[in-house]
Structures are given as C-alpha cells and as structure tokens.
Amino acid sequence: MPNWLFILVNVGVAAFVGGITNHFAIKMLFHPRKEVTFLGRRLPFTPGLIPKRKEEIAESLGYVVSDYLVTSEGLQEFIRKPAFRGKVEGAINRKLQEWSGSEDSIQELALKVWSAEEWERLKLRAEEAARRLTARGAAAIWQEYRLHEKPLKALIPGWSQETLEGWGEKAADIVLKELGSTLMSAEGQRMLTKMASTLMDKAGGFLGTMAAIFVDEEKMVQKLTPMLIQQLESEQVRGAVADMIARKLAEYGEMPLGELIEQAAGEPGLALISRRLDESLPWSEWLERLGQLRVAAIIGPQMPAIEAVLPGLLDKVLRLLERSIPVAMKAVNLPQLVQEQVQKFPVERLEQVILSVSGREFRAITWLGVLLGGFIGLFQSLLTMLWR
C-alpha cells in the first residue's frame, strides 16, 4: 500500500472514531432515558447521566440557587437600588395617570382582569370577609372591655338617681299622653266598650242580669272616658308611673349588660349584637355601589395628595418588603422548591433547552474529536512508517 494511502486511511479512521466517540458521549448525557437490561443484568451507562442523577442534580441546583443565585441579601440589595425604586415609582405614576383619566367604573376595570363569574365570586368573598371582620371586631370589643360583666349604669354617662328620676318623669309623660290619646281614639273607645261588655258578662247573678238589661255600654264608656283621662293627667298617677319606671331603670342599671340583653332578647348579648350588625349593614349593596363608581371620580380629585404622599409611602413599602424577604425566603423554602420543580421537569424538555442553548458548542466538541482523532491517526501513521 502506498504511504500516502496508508496515512489517509489511518487519519480517516482515527478522525471518524474521535468524532463518533464525542458524539455518543454527548448523547449519553441524556440517553437512554431508562435502565436497559440484558439477560437480567443492567447494561453499563444506562440510564444516561442526567436521567440517572436527576434527583442529585435537582438537590444540588436547589442549594446552588438558594445559596449563591437567589439569596436574601441579593434580593434586599436589589430592592435598595435607586434604579429599582425609580422603575416602581414610575410604573405606579403611569398607572395612576391612566386611571385618573379613565371613564371605566371599578367593575368595568375589574372585568378586564377577571371574568364576570370570577368578579361575582370576588365580591361574594369580599362581602363574607367584611361580615367576618365586623363580627370579629364586635367580639373583640365585647371581650376586651368585658362588656358582658359590666352593669348598665357603668356604660351610660351621667347615670345617677336624679337622672333616673328625670328619665322616669319624661317616660311617664310620654306613656300617659300616648295612653290618653289611644283611649280617646275610635279604637280606644271600641276597646273600652268591649271591656265593659265583658265585665258585665262576668258579673253573673241578679246584678249582672240587671246590668245587662238596663246599662248601655257605649254610654257608660262615654262617661268613664273623661274620668280615666282626668286620672291619667293627675299628678298622683303621673308620679306613680314615673316612680315605677325609675325603679325599673335602677334595677336594670345594676344588671350586667350580657344578662340584661339575654333576659330581654332571649339570646346571648354577643350573638344578638353580631346578628343585628349582620342584618343592618348592607354590605352587598355597598359593594355594588362601589363597583359602579368611576375610577377617575375616585382617583382624579385625589391625585395631588396621592403624588405628595407616594414617595414616602413607597419608601415605607419597600423597607417593609426588604425586612420581609428573609422570612419569606424561609417560608418558601427555596431549595426544596427548586428541587421539586427540577424533578418535575421532563428530561426531554431539559435536553431541548440545553441543546438550544449549547448546540453549537456540542457540535464544536464533536468536530474537535474529529480533529484530534485525525492528528492522532497522522501521528500513528508517521510513527509506524518510521518504525518500519
């Protein structure tokens, strides 16, 4: 064989071996995906390096990312940079300017972010949260100030015997005046007539029979009514009613508020207050009205004030965010999170990502194997020829 052909064959074979070796070495990083067995024994180098070491790689990446790439100190330093603060402030200002000139209502603006069903669910959750917050607030005040144990007189300013007497007199005037007006009305006259008729029916005996025959109930009521009104307007009756009301108020004043409410309403005080608040506060209606308000009508008039307080408020928010980062990082458990995400990441997709980024370098490694193999073949050929 001529020397030139001998050298050419050796160089070609060695170059092919070097190239194909590097090519398979790269492929064996990802292939085969699973373990291959032959005659019950696992073949060497199966599965490929990355599929075989995926869990170890995920664990190592988790610690690398948390210890060197995404650290609490790094994030805090990033937040402290003036460039970051400027970007945040600029974004907020642009959004506020956009909203201040917007013709959309809050609901229309929300529907650009959420669907109609999601918006309704959000309003429902907001209403439920408001009701829970109201109930918790009432319970907190009830427990913190121990209102259920305090007597009524301790909760009403100016409670004294003189005050009770004054309240009794005013209440008596109102009650007696209302009672007199009721007796003078047509309904009151019918009630008195019915009472007179019932009284004579119950009298029984000879006297009852004679009264039923000779007494006219309507005329009797007409004669009795002025007498009743005169009695109601007398100082004696007025004083007796006022004294009775004052005594009852004094009795109620000594009772704990919880016991008083439960005795009057038939349910615990806190339950009554929570129920009444829940029934009286129209959260659904308020949220509906809020949704119909125009964003510009809310933000526009307040823009000068918002722009004035925005820098200071943003500084406080960023400082709070900076202080919260270490706690948030511990709560997130970044190493575990990265490890779980890497383990879930398909090897096929990982191969595509790596090849899309480093495909040229891998091809260069393959051709480098061809080149080195060619040099080795040339060197071997020359050495063999000299040896001969």
Count, in order, helices (H) and strands (E) of the chain.
Answer: 20, 2
pLDDT given for residue 127 in this prediction = 92
pLDDT at 213: 47
In a domain, 26, yes or no: no
Highest mean pLDDT among 95-99, 282-286, 342-346, 384-388: 282-286
The string of DSSP letters for 241-306 reads: HHHHHHHHHHHHHHSBHHHHHHHHHSS-HHHHHHHHHHHH--HHHHHHHHHHSBHHHHHGGGHHHH
Instruction: List, for residues 179-203, the tens digit of each pLDDT value.
Output: 888 878 888 778 777 776 666 555 5
Q: What is the pLDDT of residues 236-250, one digit of tens each?
A: 888 888 899 889 989
Give me the mean pLDDT over the 307-323 stretch. 90
What average pLDDT does range 50-62 have in this prediction? 79
> In which band, very low, low, confident or very high, does the pLDDT at 207 lie, cut at 50, 70 and 90?
very low
Same domain, 247 and 307: no
Instruction: Give the CA dihedral 87, 92, 98, 101, nearest 10 degrees.
Output: -140
Percent of the chain at pLDDT exceeding 90: 13
Element (H, E) at 128: helix 116-144
Range of 61's domain? 50-101+303-343
pLDDT of residue 12: 87
Report yes or no on 363 lying in a domain.
Answer: no
Contact (Cβ atoms closer than 8 angstroms) between residue 180 and residue 229: yes
Name the residue with higher pLDDT: 306 or 354.
306
Within a domain: residue 221?
A: yes
User: Is 143 a domain residue?
Assistant: no
Give the separation between CA 98 and CA 205, rounded to whole angstroms: 93
Q: What is the mean pLDDT of residues 27-54?
A: 78
Q: Quote the DSSP letter at residue 37.
A: E
Average pLDDT over residues 152-167: 87
**pLDDT given for residue 87 in this prediction:** 92
Task: Specify whether 67 is located in the same domain as 158.
Answer: no
Per the domain annotation, does 298 fall within a domain?
Answer: no
Q: Collapse the DSSP code of 326 into the 3-class scheme (helix H, G, I; strand E, B; otherwise coil) and give the result.
A: helix
pLDDT given at position 388: 65
Same domain membership, residue 323 and residue 245 = no
Of 255, 276, 294, which closes a domain?
255
250 and 155 in a single domain? The answer is yes
Q: Is residue 177 part of a domain?
A: yes
Structural domains in the chain (count)? 2
Same domain, residue pair 160 and 229: yes
Q: Is residue 142 part of a domain?
A: no
> Is residue 156 domain-shared with residue 240, that is, in the same domain?
yes
pLDDT of 210 strictly over 50? no
Mean pLDDT of the chain: 83
Q: Is the pLDDT of residue 292 over 70?
A: yes
Rounded to 10 degrees, what is the CA torsion of 97, 101, 107, 111? -70
- Decide if pLDDT at 354 tops 70: yes
Question: Which is nearest to 134 in space by CA: 270, 312, 301, 323?
Answer: 270
